[in-house]
Structure 1
Amino acid sequence: MSSPTRAVALRPRSTAALVLVSLAGLLAFGWPLFATAGSRLGHSADAPLFFALLLPLLMAVVLFEISEGGLDVKAVAMLGVLSAVGAALRPLGAGTAGLETVFFLLVLGGRVFGPGFGFVLGSTTLFASALITGGVGPWLPYQMLGAAWVGLGAGLLPRVPPRWELLLLAAYGAVSGLLYGVALNFSFWPFTTGLSGDLSFVAGATPWENLRRFGVFSLATSAWWDLGRALTNVVLIAVTGRAVLGTLRRASRRAAFDAEAGFDEQAGSHEQAGSDEQVAARPTLQE
């Protein structure tokens, strides 16, 4: 059983910031369940735009707190490599029929390098891929936060014997793929036009009633896409997981993220003694 690596240290302040942005994210996704009939949120299309502006600011605070003493050069280099690979992989699926080819890498990266690394990796990968594919819009902050949660959750998974690890990661990939789709549906469902009957959002209805309507909406409009994403995660983790995990763990050992820098006084004294002997052995110039 491999011991966990913490490529990105989560200190108390960065942990508090991460919890704060997660709570704000839950509000950004789930506010339709609590909107009253007379509230402006219930009848305005400004809510997604408001949260789309708020979430990047909160995530910037989290990234700043994480980078403040918890993100060294080696972790930045690893983030750059994996974010670039993920951004290059995503257009191969582009969400067609639910084929998302990037989330398995977030799961494996978060598993090897820890929850803090997984959170940052999810957000930077989705941001980089949006720049490459031209997918920048009000939906991007929701996608970034959803992917960040996927990487964070992978880093928080319990340790299991090696023979069960791929099964655990594949199961998590399936569940996280479904939940990611559900969360993204919540971000636009209240303002989807042309809906009627049980598919539409009703401001002021009880949370359970709107949840029922949302369930009908999801089954009717995106169930196959979400199942496709979940299945893609399972297949890619099962096929590539062992090799990718081995590669990432070798890179982690070479980078020695968990090692603490120190000075060996005994070695230092030997080096100093050797230096003094070399100076004494040098020939002196005679005038």
Structure 2
Amino acid sequence: MAGRRASRRGAPAPARLVPVSARATVSILLVSAVGAASFLWPLFIAPGSTLDDVATAPLILAALLPLFLVVVLAEISRGGFDVKAIAMLGVLTAVGAVLRPLGAGTAGLETVFFLLILAGRVYGPGFGFVLGATTLLGSALLTGGVGPWLPFQIMASAWVGLGAGLLPRARGKVEVALLVAYGVLAGVLYGITMNFSFWPFIVGLDNQLSYIAGAPVLENLHRFVVYTVTTSLGWDIGRALTNGVAIVLIGPAVLSALRRIARRAAFGQVSAADRASPNHAAAGRGAPDRPAPDRTGDHDYRQ
């Protein structure tokens, strides 16, 4: 018993289960560049330019959604997203779309981001990126929340899932602490990022919180910081605390469940075999090979 416990403690942290291909990485970088430009372009416009988020946001949405599709197609063509991984993406998207209205942003309480963080942690940055996008899109369609803010929410939530998948490996309580810290940080950064999507359009023209078209970047950034601290920081802290508390209370159980499901589903096993053996398709007409059971991480949170 002691030997088995020691071997578990010495086992490496579980790897990401849906790896990101080179094509998907390029697609994610491209989408992120477009997304960053969609948030930050008001800082770099010429004086006297007219801003109209109602006109520009639908164009951004129309540009972003095909690029998100490219990410999915790149993963499918590589084999990282097999049918079972896509099914899991659909299930988690549905769960997240239902969870989000439960908080509805009341006092900053957001009940969806902890799931994006945990799923991105388990299945990797590519999966987390797509899940963040599909969850916010699905929630908007479910609740009728489609509007000029939607493309920005899609982009910001996709970054939350992406960042969770890029966290360094850890196990047990260290992993939970890492995820709590990330959840708190992501909760605040999500709010700050979303402020950029509407701050230039809603504040008056003659106060210290206002955006000034054509002003130096540092001056507008100073105004933005004052605006954020004055108006939304309390809500952002509420979102951050919700993430942290949810991860502490149910994070270990959800992580173990997601990893157990992924091991039993053996995401990508067939595609990997196809690449290794040209005759796998013919051999596959018989009984499929069962992957060796991997119990790494089963007891990470019971030590």
Equivalent-residue separation in structure 1 for 2:187 and 2:51 (angstroms): 30
Aligned to 2:62: 53
Is the contact between residue 5 and residue 258 of structure 1 (CA under 8 Å) also seen in structure 2?
no
Is the contact between residue 97 and residue 142 of structure 2 (CA under 8 Å) also seen in structure 1?
yes
Aligned to 2:265: 255
Equivalent-residue separation in structure 2 for 1:204 and 1:49 (angstroms): 24
Residues 205-224 of structure 1 mapped to structure 2, 5 A cutoff: 205-224=215-234
Q: Which AA in structure 2 matches 1:207?
A: V
Aligned to 1:5: 16
Aligned to 1:84: 94
Equivalent-residue separation in structure 2 for 1:90 and 1:203 (angstroms): 34
Shift in CA distance, 191/203, structure 1 to aligned 2, threshold 3 Å = same
Residues 100-111 of structure 1 mapped to structure 2, 5 A cutoff: 100-111=110-121
Could you say which structure has the higher helix fraction? 1
Aligned to 2:74: 65
Is the contact between residue 201 and residue 210 of structure 1 (CA under 8 Å) also seen in structure 2?
yes
Is the contact between residue 14 and residue 66 of structure 1 (CA under 8 Å) also seen in structure 2?
yes
Over alpha carbons, which structure has the higher Rg?
A: 1
Is the contact between residue 68 and residue 130 of structure 2 (CA under 8 Å) also seen in structure 1?
no
Q: Which AA in structure 2 matches 1:56?
A: L
Shift in CA distance, 25/71, structure 1 to aligned 2, threshold 3 Å = same
Equivalent-residue separation in structure 1 for 2:186 and 2:210 (angstroms): 25
Identical aligned residues as a percent: 55
Q: Which AA in structure 2 matches 1:219?
A: V
Structure 1: runs of 5 or more not aligned: 272-287
Superposed displacement of residue 193, structure 1: 4.4
Q: Which AA in structure 2 matches 1:2?
A: A
Is the contact between residue 72 and residue 81 of structure 2 (CA under 8 Å) also seen in structure 1?
no
Equivalent-residue separation in structure 1 for 2:94 and 2:52 (angstroms): 37
Equivalent-residue separation in structure 2 for 1:113 and 1:215 (angstroms): 34
Alignment deviations for residues 62-104 of structure 1 (CA, whole Å, 9 cap, x no partner) = 3333333332111011111111111111111011111000000
TM-score normalised by structure 2 residue count:
0.81
Superposed displacement of residue 4, structure 1: 1.5
Q: Which AA in structure 2 matches 1:142?
A: F
Q: Which AA in structure 1 matches 2:17?
A: R
Asked if 1:175 is matched to 2:185, the reply is yes
Aligned pair count?
A: 264
Equivalent-residue separation in structure 2 for 1:155 and 1:238 (angstroms): 18
Superposed displacement of residue 204, structure 1: 1.2
Equivalent-residue separation in structure 2 for 1:195 and 1:255 (angstroms): 56
SS at match of 1:197: coil
Q: Which AA in structure 2 matches 1:67?
A: I
TM-score normalised by structure 1 residue count:
0.86
Aligned to 2:28: 18
Equivalent-residue separation in structure 2 for 1:179 and 1:114 (angstroms): 20
Equivalent-residue separation in structure 2 for 1:241 and 1:181 (angstroms): 22
The structure 2 residue matched to 1:234, chosen from 238, 244, 250, is: 244
Equivalent-residue separation in structure 1 for 2:241 and 2:195 (angstroms): 19
